[in-house]
Chains A and B, each alone.
Chain A
Amino acid sequence: MLQIKNISKSFDKFLALSNISFNAPTGKITAIIGPNGAGKSTLFNIISGHLKPDGGKIILKDKDITGLAPHAISSLGIGRTFQIPSLFPKLTVKENIMAASIVHNRTTFKFFGLDSKSEIVTDSIIDKMNLSEFSGTPVGSLPYGVGKELEIAIAIATDPKLLLMDEPTAGIPKTEVGQIIKKIKDLCELENITVLFTEHDISFVLSIASKIVVMNYGELIFEGTPEEAMKSSDVKEIYLGKDA
């Protein structure tokens, strides 16, 4: 589905990404793990078009999407969620999701009336994500965890083939993490969405990912299944610490 080829990026003299290559297989969940500052978010911003790489290519299903504008990349079927919820705070939960649905339905420039198709899609997503009790609530006053779920709901409304999730469980109480994991898993299986996500909680990763990519200091140090990752001495040493 997605191929990352020799991507490099530096900020001033700091090398954030050095020659990163891997792929995210279709219909599977791929996790990128690594400590803070490993370059995970930078890589995500490059894939989604918010940053331009210094070198390398991003290929989505045989199509080179390197350096396209974010809105163009989104319309090619890449949805994304943000680590810190990035929402439309004065709009209601329903309006947040509906905005994405309208763009996907290509009715952005409909100046009068409603878009009933988008509204139907929005209502079904609200149902699926169990957000109905917050439907009419302005997003600015939502609890943090609900904001994270809304992030996912908005991304789904664009009907993505590939979903990029930047630390979907960060800042969420341990007790609610399971619920989010289940939702991500269901999404991947039921809607046939390929998922690429970053995470620093390794237990969470092992439970859902079918492929793991480990990064450290801007370099890719491991690529393989969760089982292989657990056996790899490199991963143990650099990611889990020397005592692990």
Chain B
Amino acid sequence: MRFDKKIGMLLIITAAFLAPLVLGSYSILVLSEIFVTALFALSLNFVLGYGGMLQFHQAVFLGVSAYAYALFVLHNGSLIVGAILGPIIAVLFGTVMGVFLVRLSGIYFGMLTLALGQLVWAVVFRWYSFTGGGNGIPSIPLPGFLSTSTERYEATLIIFLVSAFLLYKIINSPFGLLLRATGENDTRAESIGANTKTIRLAGLILSSFFAGISGISYVIYSQSVSPDILYWKKSAEILVICLVGGIYTFSGPIIGSVVIVLITTIASQYTEHIAFILGIILLVSVLFMPEGIVGSIKKRIGDRIAADKKYK
């Protein structure tokens, strides 16, 4: 079973790398969006599914990273340094917010993520002279090796694969086990001697780092930024993607991204009411597949979640 899975994954990855040979430029762009979204969803699920924290405003970290790159490059900074700067800025925001957030739990935690996140959005939206306000920043320069659409596609694919691999490793590390334990039962984690506040803070910082990476991936994909990418709606969307895919599985958010991006892409050709469609998908998923697509399938075939496999 394990062996078959590995071969299946290798086939999918190979196919993804070769996709530009057969698919048109529009399909390639949609696939890029899936990779950007999937990495962003994985970064959220790291704290949501594994850390048990109600992070309602993950988009902030994607947003500040993308803006950091755009603004740095716009002021004649080096493109590569800009790409490194993005995730660092995201981590900075994650750390400052995290210090306040870990003092709270449950819905209070969630409310504070929303409040702090919207504060950042408001600053970006209002500070016209610096951020371009509601217009955002169009046509952001990219390095020379990302000049064709195929190159940009391969870049988002590689960033996704490397980041997903790292996240998977972290979830299966000693820290990952303690993060999951803290997420499930904070009181018990404390009584085995775990400093749960520090563990949750480390989880938030790592999550903001990977969200920051997805912000760079987003700039490569769209070559522009606007305040929409750090508005609460963006965070709600990614939350829905995680829930629909399944938050107690590693691959859930990835599958959720594939399903939701494809459905919204197709639906947007016929209607403007995408939020309505997302709502229906969420409703159906919560009612009939409370553990998400991947969670329900795994339950059905009696499989254990991937992260649990390690310690059998």
Contact = CB atoms under 8 A, between A and B. Distances in A.
Chains A and B come from one and the same complex? yes
Interface of A: 48, 50, 69-71, 74-75, 79-80, 82, 86-92, 94-96, 98-100, 102-104, 107-115, 118-119, 135-136, 138, 154-155, 157-158
B188 A86 contact: yes
30 contacts: A48-B191, A86-B185, A86-B188, A88-B181, A90-B248, A90-B308, A91-B181, A91-B184, A91-B308, A95-B180, A95-B181, A95-B308, A99-B177, A99-B181, A99-B194, A102-B174, A102-B177, A108-B199, A109-B175, A110-B173, A110-B174, A111-B170, A111-B175, A111-B206, A119-B311, A136-B304, A136-B311, A154-B188, A157-B192, A158-B193
B178 interface: yes
Given A71-B194, A89-B184, A95 B174 contact: no
B78 interface: no
Contacts of B308: 90-92, 95, 136, 138
B286 to A, nearest CB: 19
B259 to A, nearest CB: 24
B173 A103 contact: no
A124 to B, nearest CB: 15
B202 interface: yes
Given A74-B192, A103-B193, 17 more contacts: A74-B191, A79-B191, A82-B188, A86-B185, A88-B188, A88-B189, A92-B304, A95-B308, A102-B177, A103-B178, A109-B202, A110-B175, A112-B173, A113-B173, A115-B174, A136-B312, A158-B192
Nearest to A119: B311
Interface residues of B, number: 32
B195 interface: yes
Contact of B311 (A82, A95, A104, A112): A95
Contacts of B180: 88, 90-91, 95
B312 A70 contact: no
B312 A94 contact: yes
A91 B127 CA distance: 46
Contacts of B170: 111-112
B304 A138 contact: yes
B190 interface: yes
B192 A135 contact: no
Contacts of B305: 90
A121 to B, nearest CB: 13
Contacts of B310: 114
B181 to A, nearest CB: 4
Identify whether the interface residues of B are mostly helix, strand, loop, or mixed. Answer: helix
B169 interface: yes
B188 A87 contact: yes
A74 B195 CA distance: 10
Interface of B: 169-170, 173-178, 180-181, 184-185, 187-196, 199, 202, 206, 248, 304-305, 308, 310-312
A128 B115 CA distance: 50
Q: Which of A114, A118, A157 has the most CB of B within 10 A?
A: A114
Given A71-B194, A90-B180, A92-B308, A114 B173 contact: yes
A104 B181 contact: no
A141 to B, nearest CB: 11
A112 B169 contact: yes
B163 to A, nearest CB: 14
Contacts of B177: 91, 95, 98-99, 102
Contacts of B195: 71, 108
A40 to B, nearest CB: 17
Nearest to A89: B184
A224 B199 CA distance: 43
A91 B177 CA distance: 9
A75 B202 CA distance: 20
A48 B176 CA distance: 25
A112 B180 CA distance: 15
Contacts of B196: 71
B178 A102 contact: yes
A103 B169 contact: no
Contacts of A158: 192-193
Contacts of A88: 180-181, 184-185, 188-189
Contacts of B311: 92, 94-95, 98, 119, 136
A65 to B, nearest CB: 13
B194 A103 contact: yes
A69 B169 CA distance: 31
B178 A108 contact: yes
A74 to B, nearest CB: 4
Contact of A108 (B174, B184, B188, B190): B174
A162 to B, nearest CB: 13
B304 A103 contact: no
Contacts of A103: 178, 192-194
A70 B192 CA distance: 9
Given A50-B187, A114-B174, A154 B192 contact: yes
Q: Which of A50, A98, A100, A108 has the most CB of B within 10 A?
A: A108
